């Protein structure tokens, strides 16, 4: 009698060979369903979300606007309908793929009936619990083969960047992504098994570690698929979904009916699952982008903005990082400034210095001398936190214009924006520099009191229309940018800059969309060169 290892190995060998056994009419059915879900149901869910925003009188969904949306009961029906469409689409697609994988004849009519029967067997309440991670977490991992409706959801890359500043926070980031990957993986296993929901995932990782290698291959495949390349994306996602379904069902069928102790060591199982996490989450810090078609970018004169200096040559927002950026000749260097406890202004992004300095204290609770005597470290480079004045003076010596972000902590004393401007006036530090903030009130104040300055609004997440605010430019996190946003900004004669874009393909695609500048840590990217 074949051993379990032999059975599983045979099942894995048959996984990709099984793709050749899927008849053309079945592929057409799957492709049509995927297109329907991704290009009709997905936009419908987005329209319902927009309707919910309109009910709440919110022009765009941002992190700050989310509580306001939840506080308006009139918006709940449309928001709930959007949620049900997204989850229902993932449920239907997952059931269909698993039915295709389990159905030998793969007759389209039998598949349709089987998918509906599978959904009835799962029961709505239980299946909803396991479909939620597939619907909303797998796109974050950039492996949305089972989530066609929500496939464009992305984890903003700046979140990963902040965690990856230091080894210990990077470890926390990997741990968090591992938990997300495990939740998605376990949900798929539970739905594929159709029984024993509590025992399935643990036994799967212990007994079916070979399957993780197949999932890793599919994760890598999904990672390189252009997210919005039309029919090509749809076709490749369908193929990846069928391959995953065949692997899931084939491995489960190869398993014996009762659990037995397996000789696979925990270390091997852990290493296999780590491969899945590494491949599937490695793209989570890369924005979805419109695939570039090889032609020269439309925005050949787009600005190159060095994000907090050049962090590969010195810690962010330090003189060392600023000097490291100079040889690359960026158009601007972005720098964050905030107020200390005694009213001074320093160049720092983090309000708490625990991550970069190992000092669990808040900048707004420290004196300026205490902050500027603090040494921070990134990527093996060390330097002290400078005052805003010292940073701006050194930038003038280097001939580097600055994009200065006013960081508010909620503990400011006095009129912080006015203090920043007055301090810069004393050193002749206003000319040639631009200013921006995540706080709309600060942007409005700068525009009102200092209309001669170039002032912009920074947006971390945006779903919907551009905010109605009087400013000179917008800085929008890359994963929120759409062609419509770029067109709307240009219709207002307002430049739009994308942040923080480090992937070269994403740079090229955003430049093709027409963005007016790229905020980046990757100053050496060929996409930023005139011939890029």
Q: What confidence score (pLDDT) does residue 278 get?
A: 44
Chain centroid offset of residue 162 CA: 12
Q: What confidence score (pLDDT) does residue 104 get?
A: 73
Q: Which of the pair, 203 or 187, is modelled with greater confidence?
A: 187
> Per mean pLDDT, which range of 52-61, 146-155, 441-450 is the poorest?
52-61
Residue 198 has pLDDT above 50, yes or no: no
Chain centroid offset of residue 20 CA: 34
> Per mean pLDDT, which range of 91-100, 151-160, 519-528 is the poorest?
151-160
Question: What is the residue extent of each domain of the chain?
Answer: 4-39+89-285, 303-528
Q: What angle (nearest 5°) sits at the alpha carbon of residue 375, between those of residues 424 and 348? A: 35
C-alpha 29/C-alpha 178 separation (Å) is 34
C-alpha 375/C-alpha 341 separation (Å) is 18
- Mean pLDDT taken over the chain: 82
Q: Which of the pair, 282 or 531, is modelled with greater confidence?
A: 531
Question: Averaged over 30-50, what is the pLDDT?
Answer: 92
pTM of the predicted model, to two decimals?
A: 0.75
Asked if residue 363 lies in contact with residue 408, where contact means CB atoms within 8 angstroms, the answer is no
Question: Averaged over 298-324, what is the pLDDT?
Answer: 91
Residue 391 has pLDDT above 90, yes or no: yes
Helix (H, G, I), strand (E, B) or coil at 192: helix
First to last CA, the chain: 60
- For the chain, how are helix, strand and coil distributed in percent, rounded to 5? 55, 10, 35
C-alpha 304/C-alpha 286 separation (Å) is 19
Question: Averaged over 384-411, what is the pLDDT?
Answer: 97
Token duo for residue 363: 């900048």
Residue 263 has pLDDT above 60, yes or no: no
Residue 432 has pLDDT above 60, yes or no: yes
- Give the model's confidence band at 337: pLDDT under 50 very low, under 70 low, under 90 confident, else very high: very high
The model's pLDDT over 474-522, given as tens digits with 9 standing for 90+, comes to: 999 998 898 999 999 999 999 999 999 998 888 998 999 999 999 999 9
Question: Averaged over 40-48, what is the pLDDT?
Answer: 91
Distances (CA, A) of 167 to 355, 356, 408, 497: 10, 10, 27, 30
> Per mean pLDDT, which range of 202-206, 330-334, 344-348 is the poorest?
202-206
C-alpha 381/C-alpha 288 separation (Å) is 31
Q: What confidence score (pLDDT) does residue 13 get?
A: 55
Question: Averaged over 125-138, what is the pLDDT?
Answer: 84
Q: What confidence score (pLDDT) does residue 351 get?
A: 93
- Across 328-346, b (16+ Cβ under 10 Å) vs e yields eebebbbbbbbbbbeebbb
Question: Averaged over 73-83, what is the pLDDT?
Answer: 92
Nearest to 478 by CA among 449, 500, 445: 500
If phi > 0 it is left, if psi is from -120 to 50 it is alpha, else beta; for residue 329 that is left
Q: Which of the pair, 483 or 5, is modelled with greater confidence?
A: 483
Residue 108 has pLDDT above 90, yes or no: no
Q: What confidence score (pLDDT) does residue 253 get?
A: 62
Q: What confidence score (pLDDT) does residue 103 get?
A: 79
Q: What angle (nearest 5°) sits at the alpha carbon of residue 59, between those of residues 45 and 83? A: 20
DSSP secondary structure code for residue 530 in this structure: T
> Per mean pLDDT, which range of 232-241, 355-364, 365-374 is the poorest?
232-241
The model's pLDDT over 166-190, given as tens digits with 9 standing for 90+, comes to: 888 888 888 888 888 878 887 887 8
- Give the model's confidence band at 532: pLDDT under 50 very low, under 70 low, under 90 confident, else very high: low
Asked if residue 381 lies in contact with residue 320, where contact means CB atoms within 8 angstroms, the answer is yes
DSSP secondary structure code for residue 163 in this structure: H
- Determine what percent of the chain is predicted with pLDDT higher than 70: 78
Query: Which residue carries 């107020």 as its tokens?
Result: 339
C-alpha 86/C-alpha 76 separation (Å) is 15
Domain range 303-528, its CATH number among 1.10.150.570, 3.20.20.190, 3.30.70.270, 3.10.50.40: 3.20.20.190
> Per mean pLDDT, which range of 31-35, 148-152, 248-252, 456-460 is the poorest?
248-252
Question: Averaged over 356-385, what is the pLDDT?
Answer: 95
Kindly report the length of the chain: 532
Residue 405 has pLDDT above 50, yes or no: yes
């Amino acid at each position: 009698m074949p051993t379990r290892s032999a059975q599983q190995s045979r099942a894995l060998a048959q996984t990709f060979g099984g793709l050749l056994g899927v008849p053309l009419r079945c592929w057409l059915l799957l492709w049509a369903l995927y297109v329907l879900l991704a290009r009709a149901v997905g936009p419908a869910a987005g329209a319902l979300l927009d309707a919910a925003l309109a009910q709440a009188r919110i022009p765009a969904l941002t992190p700050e606007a989310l509580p306001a949306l939840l506080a308006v009961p009139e918006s709940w029906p449309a928001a709930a309908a959007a949620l049900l469409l997204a989850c229902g689409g993932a449920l239907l697609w997952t059931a269909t793929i698993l039915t295709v994988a389990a159905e030998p004849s793969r007759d389209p009519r039998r598949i349709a009936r089987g998918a509906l029967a599978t959904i009835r067997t799962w029961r709505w309440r239980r299946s909803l619990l396991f479909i939620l991670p597939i619907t909303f977490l797998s796109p974050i991992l950039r492996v949305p083969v089972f989530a066609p409706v929500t496939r464009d959801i992305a984890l903003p890359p700046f979140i990963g960047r902040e965690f990856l500043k230091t080894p210990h926070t990077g470890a926390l980031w990997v741990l968090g992504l591992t938990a997300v990957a495990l939740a998605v993986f376990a949900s798929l296993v539970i739905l594929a098994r159709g029984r024993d929901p509590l025992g399935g995932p643990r036994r799967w990782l212990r007994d079916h570690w070979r399957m993780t290698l197949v999932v890793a291959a599919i994760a890598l495949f999904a990672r390189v698929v252009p997210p919005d390349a039309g029919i090509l994306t749809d076709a490749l996602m369908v193929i990846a979904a069928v391959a995953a379904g065949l692997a899931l069902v084939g491995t489960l069928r190869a398993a014996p009916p009762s659990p037995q102790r397996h000789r696979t060591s925990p270390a091997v199982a852990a290493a296999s699952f780590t491969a899945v996490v590494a491949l599937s989450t490695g793209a989570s810090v890369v924005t979805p982008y419109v695939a570039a078609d090889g032609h020269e970018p439309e925005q050949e004169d787009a600005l190159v903005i060095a994000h907090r200096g050049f962090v590969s040559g010195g810690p962010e927002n330090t003189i060392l990082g600023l000097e490291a950026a100079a040889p690359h000749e960026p158009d601007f260097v972005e720098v964050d400034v905030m107020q200390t406890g005694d009213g001074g202004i320093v160049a720092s992004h983090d309000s708490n210095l625990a991550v970069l300095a190992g000092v669990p204290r808040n900048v707004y609770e420290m004196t300026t001398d205490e902050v500027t005597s603090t040494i921070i470290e990134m990527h093996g480079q060390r330097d002290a936190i400078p005052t805003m004045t010292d940073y701006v003076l050194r930038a003038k010596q280097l001939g580097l214009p600055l994009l200065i972000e006013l960081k508010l902590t909620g503990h400011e004393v006095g009129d912080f924006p006015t203090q920043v401007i007055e301090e810069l006036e004393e050193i002749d530090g206003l000319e040639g520099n631009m200013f921006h903030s995540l706080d709309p009130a600060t942007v409005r104040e700068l525009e009102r009191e200092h209309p001669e300055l170039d002032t912009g609004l920074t947006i971390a997440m945006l779903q919907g229309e551009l905010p109605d605010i009087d400013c000179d430019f917008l800085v929008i996190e890359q994963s929120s940018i759409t062609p419509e946003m770029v067109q709307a900004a240009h219709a207002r004669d307002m430049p739009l800059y994308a942040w923080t874009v480090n992937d070269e393909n994403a740079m090229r695609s955003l430049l093709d969309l027409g963005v007016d500048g790229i905020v980046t840590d990757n100053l050496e990217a060929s996409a930023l060169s005139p011939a890029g």
